[in-house]
Amino acid sequence: MSAKIKLLPDHVANQIAAGEVVQRPASVVKELIENAVDAKATEIKLIIKEAGKTLIQVIDNGSGMNVIDARMCFDRHATSKIKNAEDLFDLHTKGFRGEALASIAAIAHVELKTKLEAEELGTHIIIEGSKFVSQDVVVSPKGTSFSVKNLFYNIPARRNFLKSDTVEFRHIIDEFQRVALAHPNIHFIMYHNGEEYANLPISNYRQRIVNLFAGKTNEKLVPVTENTDIVAIHGFVSKPEFAKKNKGEQFLFVNDRYIKSGYLHHAIMNAYDGLLKEGTQPSYFLYFDVPKHTIDINIHPTKTEIKFDDEQSIYAILRASIKHSLGQFNVSPVLDFERDSNLDTPYDYSKKEADIPVVEFDATFNPFKQSENKPARQVYQKKETANWESLYVGLTDEFQSKSNHYEADEVATSLFDDVEVESVVQKNYQLQKKYIVSPIKSGLLIIDQRKAHQRILYEQFLTNMTILKGNSQQLLFPLSIIMSTRELEILMELKVQLEHTGFVFDKFTKETVIFSGIPANVQEGKVPSLLDDLVSDLQQDFPQNSFSQNDSIAKSMANSLAIKTGTYLTQLEIDNIVNALFACKDPNISPFHKPTFITLTVDDLDKRFSL
């Protein structure tokens, strides 16, 4: 009887490992860039074609490898970064599993060029699907060039699983930003489809953040610094007024390694207690330096989760340091009294004593003493008011009767006798600035004003984008809005659809977008918040096809522009919402699948009163 359990061939084992290590092109980018950082490179170039599906190339000027290391780096569990299990708790590098290059070589065409600084010639290796094709010597500069072509070429199911180029490129950007933010002492350059996407020179942490995200990043950052025996914290948090709905600009680094931690995120949100609008979150770029033996980074395959020995202390220190920074830079509200500097004592008079004023008064003065030549005030007043009738001398009784009684009779007649009072019955009413109550034949119709307005706006925008025509209002002065690099990219991808809603784009710059026209039903002051909400809604999950994009844009714009709960409506506005709602194709539900109205019949009322 033959044995059932057998050892897998290396190429099969590598493909299985690739399923864990290489999930998408961004995974390859992460592994290759981190290897370049571990090689002590001071300049790293990332070249991408078709969102990494065709080419991912990383070129560095690091230490390079000799011919033996260049060949062995593609073997499974081969690494120069750890030697025994104890090294897992004293890591100084990023990658250490020794499976990344073997897994990448199993599912792609790989080309490696590397050379040590002390050697004249380098090594050139070509591998296709774990099979060595060639190995030669080559003339190359110091460092390593690693090219990965045709990712998942031998696993069609995995390649078909990949998203669109837009989505995959966004994941690559995420990995690039995480490594670039952790190492401002390295010059990073990135190209996509032959065009330079980013050029980040060596700088400090603040400048690296500004170079990556542009826009108003510099003015919204508040520095955070705290040094303790447990942890040293430095970095930046954003001011509360710059908080956004999405979590795009939230970065935590422990010993220069990007991590995700819901526990530490809760500490940051707790520090902002009472400062943020509902539903918004701050941006933060925080760096933690902790003793290496106090953390375990080997608890998750992606190495983005870390276990701390003393999480509670780090939580408290982080929360207190952010609160202190927000208060120190006058971001959090404090009891303070503003003073006018003009009221300060001049320097020349600061040491002079105040002159005591001299008060002169008549000690013999008696205000109640009557003057001998002047009668008392009471007698004078009594004498003057005694003949008050003399004021009306010259006014005849006839003039008084004509002027007074005639006017009074005319007013009384015009107000009460000639005017008919008509009773006006309103059909629709607003209840608690939230609902619209409309009487119907069977009872009452209760409409949620916000959800109803969302439905109305949603169908208007969707119709405009479907017929490729939207009404615009031209602006007297162009509207310029500052946005981050990533937000501008999303806006450029949605340019055609937004033009169909009524936006008229003037031009894009590196940090701004300029409009010469906006939709007719949008106020100019609401455009920045509208675009901010739109980008936030689409940043995490960008739609694949045009129909889904139109639907997502219409939903986001309708949600941003719909009247808020608690808004007072005039009678005309109430009637317009009711009429427009029931002119919609689907008035029963909002774009977010919530009911827009309910009916309360007479039978329902009778049942309530019969209890």
Mean pLDDT, residues 207-211: 92
Instruction: Supply the pLDDT for residue 420.
Output: 43
CA dist 442 to 65, 121, 599, 605, Å? 84, 91, 9, 11
DSSP code, position 107: S
Token duo for residue 21: 């290590």
pLDDT of residue 82 exceeding 50, the answer is: yes
pLDDT at 253 over 90: yes
Tokens linked to 352: 């002079």
pLDDT in tens, 40-60: 999 999 999 999 999 999 999
**Residue 183, Cβ density class (10 Å: 0-12 exposed, 13-18 middle, ≥19 buried):** buried
Q: Which amino acid is at 338?
A: E
CA distance 362 to 227: 71
pLDDT in tens, 505-558: 988 887 889 999 999 888 888 898 888 888 888 776 666 666 778 888 899 999
Please tell me the distance from the alpha carbon of residue 100 to that of residue 110, in angstroms, as a whole number.
Answer: 12
> Between these two residues, 133 and 332, which has the higher pLDDT value?
133
Supply the pLDDT for residue 161.
83
Beta carbons within 8 Å of 244's beta carbon, 6+ residues apart = 280, 281, 283, 532, 536
Q: pLDDT tens across 267-310, in order?
A: 999 999 888 888 788 999 999 999 888 887 766 666 677 888 88
475 phi and psi angles, rounded to 5 deg = -95, 140
Pairing of strands 250-254, 284-289: parallel
Q: Does domain 435-598 have CATH number 3.30.1370.100?
A: yes
Q: Compute CA distances 528 → 516, 589, 600, whole Å.
A: 14, 28, 40
Q: Does 6 have pLDDT greater than 80?
A: no
Sheet of 187-192, strands arranged across: 131-138, 122-128, 109-115, 143-149, 55-60, 43-49, 187-192, 195-200
Choice between 412 and 502, residue whose per-residue pLDDT is larger: 502
Q: At what angle do helices 165-182 and 205-213 cross, to 10 degrees?
A: 170
CB contact at 8 A, 52 and 28? yes
Yes or no: domain 10-200 corresponds to CATH 3.30.565.10: yes
What is the rounded CA–CA span in Å between residue 175 and residue 173? 5
Q: How far apart are CA 406 and CA 346, in angstroms?
A: 70
Q: How sure is the predictor about 422, in pLDDT bands with cuts at 50, 70 and 90?
A: very low
The confidence score (pLDDT) of residue 408 equals 45
Of 1.10.630.10, 3.30.230.10, 1.10.287.980, 3.30.70.20, which CATH number belongs to 207-328? 3.30.230.10
Region of poorest pLDDT, from 39-48, 164-173, 315-324, 586-595: 164-173
Q: What is the Cα 465 distance to its own chain's centre?
A: 26
Q: Where in the chain is the domain with CATH 3.30.565.10?
A: 10-200
CATH code 3.30.230.10 region(s) in the chain: 207-328
